[in-house]
Structure 1
Amino acid sequence: MIKKTDLYLETRDHFLTQKRFEISKTSIEGLLITTPQPRDLDKYYDTSEYLSHDDSNNSLFARLYRFARKLNIKSKFKLISKYDAGGRILDVGAGNGELVKYLVQERLDAQGYEPSELARKVAYQKGVRLLDHLPVRNKQHYQVIQMFHVLEHVKDPQKLLDDLYSMLTDDGILIIALPNYESLDAKIFKSYWAGYDVPRHLYHFNEKGISNLTSSKFNLIEKRPMWFDSFYVSILSARYKKLPLAFLCGIFIGICSNIMSLLSSEPSSRIYAFKKSK
């Protein structure tokens, strides 16, 4: 059971409501928790500004986000192809279905699960049918399960990991992407760092945190940075902090964060690939 311990920092929902929240350390080293955790989280996602769910926003920033997403999808496809071995693939937290659509177009046996009704409707308009529930009854059914920026949104990450473990084949691969609160951009922006994204992000991870949470059921076999995330997060953070020339400032800090991560191995976001242990 994950227990809250010492206060790490105080912040607020800079993205939408401006409500105040605390981020605290937990009984699992490297894992932080957002408190309080609202019972109804849906209202914190209910806006066209939440770009991973809704494609209707046509601002310059939204267009740049979608351009970066297309590049990221190709990178994700290469990673998934490395491990799929012709088996079934499940995208957990599939958003508006872009990745699932791309994987199917590339002739992979892929499906997606997305709890947001709005995101599922957007995906359906693109010809992608997403599951509205996690198919936990499909024991040892999937060769690859991926969660790109999903685990931090989950109220009980340990239970979800247990469910995914049972759904993977004996040699199955679990791919997880997470923001990293040890990155340079996180240290620069502190409580304004968009990677905290409270209360939508209920938990916050560094490498030790995700390793400790997965160690009983999975073995880490690969990790790689997500270079575009530092720019997206830094631009948002600069806007939250109301810095002058926020876009350019965010780009500059994103570049600095990526360069520093080559030395520190602490990128703004990181992808982890785990193999199911027996």
Structure 2
Amino acid sequence: MNFKFSKPFLELKDYFLTQEKFELYLDPETELIKTIPQPEQLDLYYESEDYLSHDDTQKSFFAFCYNFAKSFNLKSKTSLIGRFIKNGKVLDIGAGVGDLVNALQKKGITATGFEPSPKARKIAGEKGIVLKPNLESFKENSFDLISMYHVLEHVTDVEKQKQEILALLKSHGILILALPNYKSYDARFYGKYWAGYDVPRHLFHFNKKAVKSLFDKEFEIVKMKPMWFDSFYVSILSSRYEKSFSPFIKGIIIGLLSNCVALFNKEPSSITYVLKKRF
């Protein structure tokens, strides 16, 4: 697929870490958005103890809120995966510190994970969870289900990633994606401060049309599910970025409002997509 990121969409900063400036450009046909420029040494932008998906040892109040939401989401993820897989094999791409892999294994599901971050793999290893450092470790057509929870937005080449997924999935296998939705109310409310953009760690940005455009030829979307807790986490973080007087309270209010709006317009802060391979 040939993308043409020709339409300026938004100017913003890396509010999480460096304060560097970036721009978002839209492909008008697919509505996929790309972060420009994409740093050559992207790993450096993850080097922070506050990047919680790679480190679950932090004890701050914000980390407590994050881990509470993660615990709830973990149950939702394992339940969803369990509905589509019984005795097959699962691969979690971008496994972080391995919590989903661990939860699936405890449910009796054969699960393994890939995680490029050495720091996250080390923490997972200390908990007895072995994660692979690259996808080349896995054989083609060997998985019945692949999950990517808030991962696709981080990859440098979405088309290449799709081809890798296709190679690893068995015929009519399931792909589960969770992605921030830039059409949500909280995204529109916070604008350039919306934490769902998270540049430059998020290299691409999605809405429903972008996902359908990217995957429709090879996959059928069989389910879309809101991730209700994400609106609160993202809104609190966004309020911190814009230096609100009381970011926690404001974030809770905007997160709740975003969820209420999503009940009507079906545009939640984050969406879990369940896709089935067509062949």
- Which AA in structure 2 matches 1:157? V
Matching residue of 2:234: 233
Q: Is 2:65 the partner of 1:31?
A: no
Q: Is 2:60 the partner of 1:22?
A: no
Deviations 1:144-173 (A, max 9, x none): 000000000000111111111121111200
Alignment of 1:100-179 (within 5 A): 100-135=101-136, 138-179=139-180
Q: Would the aligned equivalents of 1:136 and 1:164 in 2 still touch at CA under 8 Å?
A: no
Matching residue of 2:202: 201
Matching residue of 2:69: 68
Secondary structure of 1:52 counterpart: helix
Q: Would the aligned equivalents of 1:85 and 1:143 in 2 still touch at CA under 8 Å?
A: no
- Which AA in structure 2 matches 1:138? K
Question: CA, structure 1 residues 127+28, in 2 after alignment: closer, same or farther (shift >3 Å)?
Answer: farther
Q: Would the aligned equivalents of 2:86 and 2:109 in 1 still touch at CA under 8 Å?
A: no
Consecutive aligned runs of 4 or more in structure 1 exceeding 6 Å deviation? none
Q: Within 2, Cα distance between the matches of 1:75 and 1:5? A: 38
Q: Within 2, Cα distance between the matches of 1:134 and 1:85? A: 23
Q: Would the aligned equivalents of 1:234 and 1:254 in 2 still touch at CA under 8 Å?
A: yes
Q: Within 2, Cα distance between the matches of 1:261 and 1:13? A: 27
Gaps of 5+ in 1: none
Matching residue of 1:84: 85
Matching residue of 2:9: 8
Q: Within 2, Cα distance between the matches of 1:42 and 1:24? A: 22
User: How far has the Cα of 1:3 moved from its partner?
Assistant: 2.9
Q: Within 2, Cα distance between the matches of 1:41 and 1:48? A: 16
- Which AA in structure 2 matches 1:252? I
- TM-score with structure 2 setting the length: 0.98
Matching residue of 1:246: 247
Secondary structure of 1:272 counterpart: strand
Percent identity for Structure 1 against Structure 2? 47
Q: Within 1, Cα distance between the matches of 2:137 and 2:221? A: 23
Secondary structure of 1:172 counterpart: strand
How many positions carry a matched residue from both structures? 278
- Which AA in structure 2 matches 1:216? K
Alignment of 1:186-225 (within 5 A): 186-225=187-226
User: How far has the Cα of 1:137 moved from its partner?
Assistant: 5.2
Q: Would the aligned equivalents of 1:30 and 1:210 in 2 still touch at CA under 8 Å?
A: no
Q: Within 1, Cα distance between the matches of 2:137 and 2:156? A: 17
User: How far has the Cα of 1:84 moved from its partner?
Assistant: 1.1
Q: Is 2:244 the partner of 1:258?
A: no
User: How far has the Cα of 1:29 moved from its partner?
Assistant: 1.6
